[in-house]
Amino acid sequence: MYKVCVVADEDVAVGFRLAGVEAHSVGSKEEARKLLAELVFREDLGIIGVASEYAGVLDERTRKKAETGYTPIIVEIPHAAVLKETTEERRKRHAAFVSEAIGQLILYK
């Protein structure tokens, strides 16, 4: 059975740890990039949740593995600033996320 893992700042990581999820706290984009480069190649992980502030830090090798491999799936976890976005800003963010994931542009009405 695959495991779930989270990469986020300490405040978010603690919450996931309390819920029994493997969670790694990072303090910078560089730390997140290095950690994700290791985690994406672990055979026991099925899902890696990444705080949105660190979601865009994958290097080319890690991105290629994440895009072409069956597992793990990398999922963005929104942080507090994202939750304060307007509805229109959220729609744009979601459309970009879905577009990147499936290769199709989605328009919301």
Domain positions in the chain: 3-77, 80-109
Helix segments in the chain, DSSP class H: 10-18, 29-39, 60-68, 80-83, 87-102
**pLDDT for the residue numbered 67:** 78
pTM of the model: 0.71
What pLDDT shows up at residue 3? 93
Class of domain 3-77: alpha beta
Q: Is 66 in contact with 40 (CB distance < 8 Å)?
A: yes
Find the mean pLDDT for residues 8-18: 90
Helix or strand or coil: residue 92?
A: helix
pLDDT at residue 28 in the model: 93
Specify the higher pLDDT residue, 70 or 101: 70
Q: What pLDDT shows up at residue 5?
A: 94
CA distances from 14 to 33, 53, 56 (A): 20, 17, 22
* Rounded average pLDDT over 28-33: 93
